[in-house]
Amino acid sequence: MTKLPTLPASFGPALRFLRKRAHLTQDELGRRVGYSREQIARLENGSRFPDLTVVAALFVPALLMEDETPLIEQLLKLAGNTRVTQVTPTRTRHMRGQPIRAPIVTPRLRVHSPPTPLLPLIGREAEVNALLDLLASERLVTVLGAPGIGKTRLALEVARAALPFFAHGVAFVSLVDVVSPADVPYAVLRTLALTPVAHQSVDDAIAAYLAPRHLLLVLDNCDHILDAAPFFTAWLECAPYLKLLCTSRVPLDVYGEQEWPLGPLGTPDLAQPPDLDIWRSRPALQLLCARIRAADPAFTLTEANLLPLATLCIALDGLPLALELAAVRLRDLAPDVLVQQLLTLRSNGQPASTWLQQTRRNVAERHRTLQAAIAWSVKRLTTAEQIAFARLGVFIGGCSREAALQVAAAEPEILVCLERTSLIKLQDERITLLETLRTYAFEQLTASGNLAECQAAHAAHYTAFAQDVFNGLQGEQQAFWMQRALADHENCLVALRWALASEHGEIAITIADSLWWFWYRRGLFTLALEMLTAALGLATSDQSQPTRASALNGLASIYLVLDDYTASLDCHREGLSLCRELGDRRGTATVCSTSNRPVLGS
């Protein structure tokens, strides 16, 4: 057996080693993975953070053989170690109550049963048990979640599991096709198979029917008929043994409601070595494999297809609907090809939410594509909310409330609404979106023709933010500003690269000058060298000359730590000359204090 080489200790050099081993130029590798030569160069010199899903889906097949598993594991581990990760404590919910027990009621009344699912629920056992516990103590529970996250399927499973605990069964009412809140009682009437007697209103018929029954009423898809919530509370008041389980993107916002947020399915961790036994137990991969097997009974999860399928789960945020749609495409495409095409569409700014499609005849229209599922939710927002949501797609890795207000015109009440509709998440003054939702928002922003305006506003905000970072890292709250800079570093880079590509010299030089000390502190010397050099290469106005002098001083410091003394001295000389020309005594003193070269004073 041929002995495998040992990769360098960091991702950039390891990528360069593997590229040269494959006898590929940066251009050739770029063409294979859909990157430019400049992007490959930035990955190799450490000025660009690697994306784990892209590395797994695109670079591994291009550079490594299937039997080189140790090298694949090393490369992914190096990529995972390179990225700055922030761990947010997960909130846990205390489940109260004992198993649901039926009170003493008349058992001879008709017993209702929910529909029987066609396929088993996968990966949601803990959620089912938690909701059953909650229903033991609460009378109105609302399952909340983003489009495609599986609220309906979970509610149906809970309904089936709760059936033995309700003397008169469980009635499942789908409200997806109900147009007006006033029509909700008629939908319930049909589900319960009621016929009002003469002179009896629909409301009275339902109230009279529910009053003596120990029943669980599941009301699915309530978000577009929120004004019907008073019906729900009225039924609970007249029927002491009635309980309601609702699904919605938005809380019902009524007294007595217990909200229960539903998250995505758990995905494998690409930063860890691929492990067939561990990864196959992750709920997202379990669901994807089960749906693939439904179309191809001979399918088996193996070491060969493990990595691309796990990457696909992560790229789709663990959203059950997205995984269902991906399984359909996997009938025609190999896993590695599918994930490569998906990531390529996203990276090129092309619509990816319509690319995964469902063709089965018994699937609702709004679940046939990711775009349809998300659009069904978004179109129920107000115009201002839709605009703000689309503009939030310009942010990478989330943003602060202040940034959302300035760039996306997202007023506080709009953000609250978007969170209540499960399209964004607000936590510790920070706004985040699932990548699937952010991609859709960016697509809508591009289609609206407002992308350029939004990118300019984004760049303006992060220009000011970068200046605050520089000042903050010089002051007494350095730890605070370091964390803020880490949280929005990707946004700053997006703004800087937009300025470079658009040749906005003032913006580019200001951001690069403001961030060089942060890059220096974080050891990102190659990134600092690339960005400062590129920014200094653009034309700027006379008003930017002091900033240019400061950036030259920063670049000189970077060259110095890289042991390029000649280049450092050249930058100091140019910066000093510019400061003297501007009469900037403070800048002159800064340059002289930064360097011990006696020639600077000559």
- Please write down the HEC assignment for all residues of 53-81: HHHHHHHHHHHCCCCCHHHHHHHHHHHHH
Q: Any idea of the CA torsion for 287, 292, 294, 297, to the nearest 10 degrees?
A: -120
- Global pTM reads 0.68
d(CA 286, CA 301): 10
DSSP letter assigned to residue 109: S
Give me the pLDDT at residue 68, please. 86
d(CA 443, CA 343): 14
**What does the DSSP assignment read for 180-192?**
SGGGHHHHHHHHH
Q: Are 424 and 390 in contact (CB under 8 A)?
A: no
Which of 440, 474, 376 is CA-nearest to residue 151? 376
Which of 582, 530, 576 is CA-nearest to residue 552? 576
Q: Are 163 and 114 in contact (CB under 8 A)?
A: yes
Give me the pLDDT at residue 179, please. 83
Residue type, 264: P
Q: Are 58 and 310 in contact (CB under 8 A)?
A: no
Q: For residue 565, what is the enclosing H or E element?
A: helix 565-582
Which of 51, 35, 246, 63 is CA-nearest to residue 140? 246
Give me the pLDDT at residue 541, please. 83
In a 13 Å sphere around the CA of 570, the CA atoms on its Cβ side amount to: 5
**First-last CA distance in the chain:** 65
C-alpha dist (Å) from residue 102 to 55, 239, 243, 249: 54, 14, 12, 30
Q: Is 398 left (phi over 0), alpha (psi -120 to 50) or beta?
A: left
Give me the pLDDT at residue 2, please. 66
d(CA 332, CA 359): 13
CB count in 10 Å sphere of residue 102: 13
Query: 222 forms bridges with which residues in the sheet?
Result: none
Supply the Cα-derived Rg of the chain in whole angstroms.
Answer: 29
d(CA 421, CA 226): 12
Give me the pLDDT at residue 528, please. 92
C-alpha dist (Å) from residue 510 to 83, 525, 527, 531: 25, 18, 16, 11
d(CA 579, CA 382): 53
C-alpha dist (Å) from residue 341 to 29, 30, 34, 86, 399: 16, 15, 10, 28, 28
> Residue 329, SS3?
helix
Q: Are 286 and 293 in contact (CB under 8 A)?
A: no
Which of 377, 280, 291 is CA-nearest to residue 328? 291
Q: Are 218 and 172 in contact (CB under 8 A)?
A: yes
Give me the pLDDT at residue 373, please. 75
Give me the pLDDT at residue 99, please. 46
CB count in 10 Å sphere of residue 207: 17
Give 10-residue mean pLDDT values along the chain (602 residues). Answer: 81 93 91 85 85 84 86 88 44 39 50 86 92 94 92 94 91 89 93 87 92 94 91 93 94 93 93 91 93 86 92 90 84 83 70 51 49 80 93 92 94 91 87 87 90 95 96 92 93 94 94 94 91 92 85 91 90 81 63 48 32
DSSP letter assigned to residue 131: H
d(CA 563, CA 12): 20
d(CA 450, CA 452): 6
Residue type, 121: L
Sign for the CA dihedral angle at 366, 369, 374, 380 comes to: negative
Give me the pLDDT at residue 29, please. 92
Phi then psi for 217, rounded to 5 degrees? -105, 115
Give me the pLDDT at residue 84, please. 43
Strand arrangement of the beta sheet that strand 257-261 belongs to: 170-174, 215-220, 242-248, 140-144, 257-261
